[in-house]
Amino acid sequence: MTGHVGRHGPSGRLYGVGLGPGDPELVTVKAARLIGAADVVAFHAAQHGRSVARALAAPYLREGQVEELLVYPVTTETTDHPGGYQGAIDEFYEAAAARLAAHLDAGRDVVVLAEGDPFFYGSYMHMHKRLAHRYPTEVVPGVTSVSGAAAVLGRPLVERDEVLTVLPGTLPPDELAEWLATTDSAAVMKLGRTFRGVREAFDAAGVLDRAFYVERATTDRQRILPLAEVDPDTVPYFSLALLPSELTGPGNDPERTEDAEPRVGEVVVVGLGPGQRSWTTPEAAEALAGADDLVGYGPYLDRVPANPRQTRYPSDNRVEAERAAHALQLAQSGRRVAVVSSGDPGVFAMAAAVLEVAAQPEYADVEVRVLPGLTAAQAVASRVGAPLGHDFAVISLSDVLKPWDVVLDRLRAAASADLVLALYNPRSKARPHQLGEAHQALLEVRKPETVVVVGRDVGGPEERVTVTTLGEFDPATVDMRCLVMIGSTQTQVTATGRVFTSRRYPG
């Protein structure tokens, strides 16, 4: 908004600042900053002169600020003003606006305090209507009394497609009852002297039994009662009636005695990707965050950020069946269990192990989900280009679960078929000689100039990627943190060092 130029130069700025429902800690950081910086702080009060808004803002005021106390000429009492109640109030607002305009014309910034939110049944809006078109203006929202009341009650107001209706208690009871009978959830404001009519409306709408009364929410004087039990003579203006959604349930209602529904557990097998955290998919991250228990090989669990709510069950890498059974048993007790793998859980990892154990009759009641992950072959390939651009085979060189002769036969067959090969688990301390044997078997059917890519700790802090040939490849440089990729006859290295396998095959 363009600034107004007053008699003394550029005008000040008008701020309508919400203070929240009553707890001083629910005043926003922005509201506190503006209150402390303002030249003038204005606030409303009844005839007694005590301002709730001023009390809330007190911790943020500073010495030397001008305070404008705006005292209502009437609240609920009668008046001899010729225009009646409305005439007296309109005249008051005009005079109050003129007082603030004088400060704004002199170049002073003015903050008008408002309990709750300035635009939610707040007195500030009457200043806004009279001044915002004349001066630079900003409204700072605050936590509403409805939000505060729902929070202290511990009952959500609405969910899904439900409708929340906010109503003034000053409506005639029959009209109020019509609204209450047709909405999912409601908040009725402006109680005080209107309370008897409001309770009558809840009763007529048939919802009195599930309505609540909240007084001075979030303060040390708050009071919460079933609406039907409230003495009308004790109800102040700063209170409201809440009709929570029927769908949200009793929440933390201390009167609740019924047993909760038994919780159904599940097992989700997730892959973290091969290294860096950004390679864990959002779907896998969500499953990890929602789990009660994490089960997996210790170093893989170490990659998952710690959460004290969760229980971790690390184990050795050679007890996959026991690990799977433990996860399934936890799920049977109602726990949400994430079984953690590196890379993709379905590629030489825990998905098959869990499903194999879950196929036993005693685990038939457990739901098992498998979430895909980025696997090491994809990660290594991306670092050098596109060596997996044509048909390829993925082979594990581990002989823990299959005979070594089978591994060699499959290597020879895949190499003879001219497939690119991605070799997992290439060389461990327990079997250091096998990669050398595999290397010799490949040289029987592949030329020495065949492209070889070795990726170590790809995505991790010790990442190293080497491009060489089958003839120059040294198996002794490889460990279990590596993936070895053997190209086909169509795999090429460009002048810039990029590797790709053409999608076309001759013949």
Q: What gap in Å lies between CA 349 and CA 300, rounded to an integer?
A: 12
pLDDT in tens, 407-418: 999 999 999 999
Q: What gap in Å lies between CA 212 and CA 248, rounded to an integer?
A: 14
Name the nearest CA neighbour of 295 among 372, 349, 224. Answer: 349
The pLDDT assigned to 475 comes to 94
Please report the sign of the dihedral spanned by the C-alpha atoms of residue 98, residue 100, residue 104, residue 108: positive
pLDDT in tens, 184-216: 999 999 999 999 999 999 999 999 999 999 999
CATH of domain 146-243: 3.30.950.10
Confidence of residue 13 (pLDDT cuts 50, 70, 90): very high
- Average pLDDT of the chain? 91
pLDDT in tens, 219-261: 989 999 999 999 999 999 889 999 998 876 554 444 444 444 5
The pLDDT assigned to 87 comes to 76
CATH of domain 376-501: 3.30.950.10
Cβ-contact 142, 116 below 8 angstroms: yes
- Whether 428 has a pLDDT exceeding 90, the answer reads no
Q: What gap in Å lies between CA 368 and CA 499, rounded to an integer?
A: 39
Q: What is the mean pLDDT of residues 460-475?
A: 94
Q: What gap in Å lies between CA 426 and CA 398, rounded to an integer?
A: 7
Cβ-contact 475, 439 below 8 angstroms: yes
pLDDT in tens, 379-407: 999 999 999 999 999 999 999 889 999 99
Q: What gap in Å lies between CA 428 and CA 271, rounded to an integer?
A: 22
Report which secondary-structure segment, H or E, holds 340: strand 336-341
The pLDDT assigned to 7 comes to 43
- Whether 481 has a pLDDT exceeding 60, the answer reads yes
Using left for φ > 0, alpha for ψ between -120 and 50, and beta otherwise, residue 441 falls in: alpha
The pLDDT assigned to 397 comes to 94
The pLDDT assigned to 78 comes to 56
The pLDDT assigned to 98 comes to 96
Residue 386 CB burial class (10 angstroms; 0-12, 13-18, ≥19): middle
pLDDT in tens, 124-154: 999 999 999 999 999 999 999 999 999 999 9
Q: What is the mean pLDDT of residues 298-322?
A: 90
Look at the domain 266-370 and name its fold: Cobalt-precorrin-4 Transmethylase; domain 1 (3.40.1010)
Q: What is the mean pLDDT of residues 164-178?
A: 96
Kindly report the CA angle at 455 between 451 and 459, in degrees rounded to 5? Answer: 145
The pLDDT assigned to 437 comes to 94
Please report the sign of the dihedral spanned by the C-alpha atoms of residue 103, residue 104, residue 109, residue 113: positive
Q: What is the mean pLDDT of residues 83-92?
A: 80
- Whether 505 has a pLDDT exceeding 70, the answer reads yes
Residue 368 CB burial class (10 angstroms; 0-12, 13-18, ≥19): buried
Q: What is the mean pLDDT of residues 117-126?
A: 93
Q: How far is CA 193 from the centre of its chain?
A: 42
The pLDDT assigned to 85 comes to 66
Residue ranges matching CATH 3.40.1010.10 in the chain: 5-142, 266-370
Name the nearest CA neighbour of 317 among 242, 410, 217, 425. Answer: 425
Q: Please give the structure tokens belonging to residue 260.
A: 């909760």
Q: What is the mean pLDDT of residues 261-266?
A: 72
Per the model's pLDDT, the better-predicted residue between 253 and 268 turns out to be 268
Q: What gap in Å lies between CA 68 and CA 110, rounded to an integer?
A: 10
Residue 431 CB burial class (10 angstroms; 0-12, 13-18, ≥19): middle
Q: Please give the structure tokens belonging to residue 269.
A: 């097998």
Name the nearest CA neighbour of 299 among 281, 335, 275. Answer: 275
Using left for φ > 0, alpha for ψ between -120 and 50, and beta otherwise, residue 113 falls in: beta
Q: What gap in Å lies between CA 315 and CA 331, rounded to an integer?
A: 18
- Whether 108 has a pLDDT exceeding 60, the answer reads yes
Q: What gap in Å lies between CA 366 and CA 266, rounded to an integer?
A: 6
Lowest mean pLDDT among 84-88, 230-234, 401-405, 419-423: 84-88
The pLDDT assigned to 257 comes to 40
Confidence of residue 49 (pLDDT cuts 50, 70, 90): confident
- For 5-142, the fitting CATH number among 3.40.30.10, 3.40.630.30, 3.40.50.2000, 3.40.1010.10 is 3.40.1010.10
The pLDDT assigned to 419 comes to 96
- Whether 22 has a pLDDT exceeding 70, the answer reads yes
